[in-house]
Chains A and B, each alone.
Chain A
Amino acid sequence: MSTQKLTIRKWFRENLWRHAVALGMSIFALFPLYLVVISSLNPTGSLQLTSFIPREISWNNYKLLFTSPAIPFLSWFRNSLVIAIAVAIFSVFIGASSAFAFSRLRFKGRKQGVQILLLVQMFPAILALSAVYVIMERVYKFAPNLGLGSQAGLLLVYLGGAMGVNIWLLKGFVDSIPVELDEAAKIDGASPMQIYWLIFVPLAAPVLAVVALLSFIGTLNEYILARLFLVEMESRTVAVGLQQFIAGQYSQNWGPFAAGSILLSIPIVAIFLSLQRYIVSGLTAGSVKG
């Protein structure tokens, strides 16, 4: 079993397919993105689709984002990060506590409640958006800082989905945490709140990280609602701000849009990398043993 030859063969059997799959999918993933990168370097402003070799390379699109006085890109970036991080944190709390209750507490209507949560999300939202707009218009009347046009208002609307969106993901993980753990704690006299904070939250950290990442990404890329709320130039997010290059009445200028999109994906990758440890670390194994 321990000869050198066998180990190599084993390595091939065990690892080669992994590299093949990962490499193949990576190429598939990168292929269109490569075209985004070339487009961001294309000074004419149209999408580069014809060839894989850029016709000419210019950094003007990136320069434009940082130097043009009409494009406060850094403010947009800061707004995007602030809103996305806030949404991520709040949705994790709201989602996690609901999932905990659905998974661990016994009460009437538990099954119906979770079904309603799932079903409510299936409503096609295109028309419901008009209603959200009307509600926030009215809120604006008595509280301009929370209504239409404010980042805080946008945050509130985003949190409307916080309970439902990741509830099943979270619940799946809570279910996989052994019940013995909190039963033991209950015998020691812990209240549900204590069990939640002291046992559940630390154990669920990895999945909470996944949920945080998912809401972070979702919020960064959202623009349909954001463009109705964030009208002031300085209060816009990157996704809203970049729209001006491609959703004009007649003209589309893809270069800066592509450049901005690439910059926007940097924090996502950064957050992903920094949370990778949690996303990947073994959770249940450790807890049962410890």
Chain B
Amino acid sequence: MKNRFMKGFAAVAAVAFVTGLAVTPAHAAGEIVVWADETRGPNLAKVIAAKGDWVAGYTIKVVTYSSFDALKDAFDKASGTTGPDIVVAANDWVPTAAKSGKLAPVTLTASQKANFNATQFFDLSYKGKLYGIPVDINNVAMIFNTKLVSSAPKSFGDMVDYYKANKVSKNLKAGLCIAGGGMSWGAHSVFSALGADAYLMTKKGTVNTVQSFNPSVFGANVKKYLLDANGKSNGFFPASDTGCKDNFLAGTVPFAVIGNWEWKDYVAKGFEMNLMPVPSVNGGYGHMFGSVSGALLTTFADKHGVAAGAKSLLVNFFASGAGQAAYQAVEGRPPAAKEASSSTMLSAGQKGFGSAAALAGIPQIGAFLNNNKGGANYWDSAPAYWTAVLIDRKNPVIEARKLAAIWKGNVASGKSDL
């Protein structure tokens, strides 16, 4: 038996060593790897390939993940072995990834910086260092159905009055609802229109950390505009975004907050882009978040020996007007770079969102919104308020006090990360 084993094993080992001499190469030298999600990836690949020499001497490979979630999942797990050199990602990845040493800082010259709005650098920075280039802007705006309302509402009260007057005759399902961006991100403009801001900006574009929202005023507004005499929701503003888009398209909701990534769906249904920010109770506008997606430089680039090349790609392509204009012509989002935003290729929809953002946009600051030192982060606490008041019929002022305390705590704690 022993003999048979030895003979067999010898034969096996001989075969193995004859065939087993191939050693495969590791990471290809001079190749810059860019990771992106399912919409940006193919478009980047197309645009980068169209003009081959964004960075002389390097080849550029775009890896497209099947979804944004998949991209995040992979980037969280990736190490220097197979990780990307540049990742096109959401702004709120920056603080965590930079803190963990996964991102490398980028130095821009003064003229390169001037191509962007200063507030756009907020969310791609961590502790004073910039980790990426703003690529595109995501925001929401309110659309109104001109078949129902003839002219733009002047104030929040106008919309509520319209709803109450026509609820029965026009079989309305709601007055204003959130079709894009969800009950936290998308609904900030409604919070703000009624007097609750997560944080405010000064005229100079810095964060106003002193001023916060007044829960008594906000609570009273909620009571006045969103609730009936019994403290029950009057149906004007639903606490969830389910069915909002379909109802708006079907003409049973006059006002809806929609996202700039989906305006084509509305145009396809014959709607004109009557866009504006949500009018506030006192004639101003509710603030809405504008978030930038960024092309972020990773520390893996250094390990792969392409850090300098990757930085060149960021500057020559992502931070240049030419690069962004070419890219957004395919991608169809508002470009972040100023040089590109004057491009004639922009559509009416893109312009409508742009002007709404100009009226009432504020930068989305992850350091505050993701923070949970106040008890819960913005994303969880905001929808919780709508549920508590509109569904569970809790007192709008008492709940507003809790909300105000949470947001204030988050801002106080997040300041140090700016």
Direct contact of A and B (CB under 8 A): yes
Asked whether, in the complex, the Cβ of A250 is within 8 Å of the Cβ of B66, the reply is: no
Interface string of A228-246 (1 = CB under 8 A from B): 1011010010001101101
**What separation, in Å, do the CA atoms of A169 and B353 have in the docked complex?**
58
Judge whether B67 is part of the interface by a CB distance below 8 angstroms.
yes
**What separation, in Å, do the CA atoms of A249 and B63 have in the docked complex?**
17
Interface string of A91-108 (1 = CB under 8 A from B): 000000000000000000
Judge whether A16 is part of the interface by a CB distance below 8 angstroms.
no
Q: Using Cβ atoms and an 8 Å threshold, which residues of chain B touch A133?
A: 74, 77-78
Q: Using Cβ atoms and an 8 Å threshold, which residues of chain A touch B73?
A: 224, 227-228
Report the nearest A residue to B80, measured CB to CB.
A137
Determine which of A45, A49, A241, A243 lies in contact with B265 in the assembled complex, contact meaning CB atoms within 8 Å: A45
Judge whether A3 is part of the interface by a CB distance below 8 angstroms.
no
Chain B nearest Cβ from A30, distance in angstroms: 22
Contact A251 to B24, CB < 8 A, known contacts A46-B246, A137-B79, A241-B66: no
Judge whether A130 is part of the interface by a CB distance below 8 angstroms.
yes
Asked whether, in the complex, the Cβ of A247 is within 8 Å of the Cβ of B70, the reply is: yes
Asked whether, in the complex, the Cβ of B66 is within 8 Å of the Cβ of A144, the reply is: no
Chain B nearest Cβ from A72, distance in angstroms: 12
**What separation, in Å, do the CA atoms of A149 and B181 have in the docked complex?**
32
Determine which of A46, A240, A247 lies in contact with B245 in the assembled complex, contact meaning CB atoms within 8 Å: A46
Stretch at the interface among B35-43, B157-165, B193-201: B35-43
Q: Using Cβ atoms and an 8 Å threshold, which residues of chain B touch A50?
A: 243, 246
Report the nearest A residue to B242, measured CB to CB.
A49
Asked whether, in the complex, the Cβ of A227 is within 8 Å of the Cβ of B77, the reply is: no
Q: Using Cβ atoms and an 8 Å threshold, which residues of chain A touch B78?
A: 133, 137
Chain A nearest Cβ from B32, distance in angstroms: 17
Asked whether, in the complex, the Cβ of A231 is within 8 Å of the Cβ of B66, the reply is: yes
**What separation, in Å, do the CA atoms of A244 and B64 have in the docked complex?**
11
Asked whether, in the complex, the Cβ of A130 is within 8 Å of the Cβ of B68, the reply is: no
Task: Find residues 133-153 in chain A having any chain B CB closer than 8 Å to their own CB.
Answer: 133-134, 137-138, 140-144, 148-149
Asked whether, in the complex, the Cβ of B69 is within 8 Å of the Cβ of A44, the reply is: no
Asked whether, in the complex, the Cβ of A227 is within 8 Å of the Cβ of B245, the reply is: no
Determine which of A42, A134, A230, A243 lies in contact with B67 in the assembled complex, contact meaning CB atoms within 8 Å: A243
Report the nearest A residue to B81, measured CB to CB.
A137
Q: Using Cβ atoms and an 8 Å threshold, which residues of chain B touch A246?
A: 67
Asked whether, in the complex, the Cβ of A251 is within 8 Å of the Cβ of B63, the reply is: no
Asked whether, in the complex, the Cβ of B74 is within 8 Å of the Cβ of A244, the reply is: no
Judge whether A70 is part of the interface by a CB distance below 8 angstroms.
yes
Judge whether A55 is part of the interface by a CB distance below 8 angstroms.
yes
Chain A nearest Cβ from B107, distance in angstroms: 28
Asked whether, in the complex, the Cβ of B77 is within 8 Å of the Cβ of A247, the reply is: no
Asked whether, in the complex, the Cβ of A140 is within 8 Å of the Cβ of B77, the reply is: no
Judge whether A286 is part of the interface by a CB distance below 8 angstroms.
no
**What separation, in Å, do the CA atoms of A140 and B77 have in the docked complex?**
15
* Contact-residue size bin, chain B (C-beta under 8 Å from the other chain): 35 or more
Report the nearest A residue to B42, measured CB to CB.
A70
Chain A nearest Cβ from B168, distance in angstroms: 19
Judge whether B65 is part of the interface by a CB distance below 8 angstroms.
yes
Task: Find residues 175-231 in chain A having any chain B CB closer than 8 Å to their own CB.
Answer: 224, 227-228, 230-231
Judge whether B271 is part of the interface by a CB distance below 8 angstroms.
no
**What separation, in Å, do the CA atoms of A44 and B262 have in the docked complex?**
11
Q: Using Cβ atoms and an 8 Å threshold, which residues of chain A touch B68?
A: 247-249
Judge whether B249 is part of the interface by a CB distance below 8 angstroms.
yes
Report the nearest A residue to B77, measured CB to CB.
A133
Q: Using Cβ atoms and an 8 Å threshold, which residues of chain A touch B15?
A: none
Asked whether, in the complex, the Cβ of B42 is within 8 Å of the Cβ of A247, the reply is: no
Report the nearest A residue to B259, measured CB to CB.
A250
Judge whether B82 is part of the interface by a CB distance below 8 angstroms.
yes
Determine which of A45, A231, A251 lies in contact with B64 in the assembled complex, contact meaning CB atoms within 8 Å: A231
Determine which of B42, B66, B138, B245 lies in contact with A44 in the assembled complex, contact meaning CB atoms within 8 Å: B245
Asked whether, in the complex, the Cβ of A243 is within 8 Å of the Cβ of B70, the reply is: yes
Asked whether, in the complex, the Cβ of B250 is within 8 Å of the Cβ of A240, the reply is: no
Asked whether, in the complex, the Cβ of A250 is within 8 Å of the Cβ of B180, the reply is: yes
Judge whether B90 is part of the interface by a CB distance below 8 angstroms.
yes
Contact A250 to B261, CB < 8 A, known contacts A227-B66, A231-B65: yes
Report the nearest B residue to A225, measured CB to CB.
B73
Contact A249 to B90, CB < 8 A, known contacts A137-B81, A144-B24: yes
Q: Using Cβ atoms and an 8 Å threshold, which residues of chain A touch B64?
A: 231, 233
Report the nearest B residue to A147, measured CB to CB.
B82
Q: Using Cβ atoms and an 8 Å threshold, which residues of chain A touch B14?
A: none
Q: Using Cβ atoms and an 8 Å threshold, which residues of chain A touch B249?
A: 44
Judge whether B56 is part of the interface by a CB distance below 8 angstroms.
no
Judge whether B23 is part of the interface by a CB distance below 8 angstroms.
yes
Q: Using Cβ atoms and an 8 Å threshold, which residues of chain A touch B261?
A: 250-251
**What separation, in Å, do the CA atoms of A240 and B38 have in the docked complex?**
11
Asked whether, in the complex, the Cβ of B242 is within 8 Å of the Cβ of A243, the reply is: no
Interface string of B49-86 (1 = CB under 8 A from A): 00000000000000111111110011011110110000
Between-chain CB contacts (< 8 Å), 18 pairs: A44-B245, A44-B246, A48-B246, A49-B243, A55-B246, A129-B77, A130-B77, A141-B26, A144-B24, A148-B82, A228-B77, A231-B63, A231-B65, A243-B66, A248-B67, A248-B68, A250-B180, A251-B259
Listed in ascending order, the chain B residues whose CB lies under 8 Å from chain A are 23-24, 26, 37-39, 42, 63-70, 73-74, 76-79, 81-82, 90, 138, 180-181, 242-243, 245-246, 249-250, 259, 261-262, 265, 269, 293
Listed in ascending order, the chain A residues whose CB lies under 8 Å from chain B are 42, 44-50, 55, 70, 129-130, 133-134, 137-138, 140-144, 148-149, 224, 227-228, 230-231, 233, 236, 240-241, 243-244, 246-251
Task: Give me the 4 closest cross-chain CB pairs, A-B, nearest first.
Answer: A247-B67, A244-B38, A227-B70, A247-B69
**Given A144-B24, A228-B74, A251-B259, 16 more contacts at CB 8 Å?**
A44-B269, A45-B245, A50-B246, A70-B42, A133-B74, A137-B81, A140-B81, A227-B66, A228-B70, A228-B77, A236-B66, A240-B66, A248-B39, A248-B67, A250-B259, A251-B261
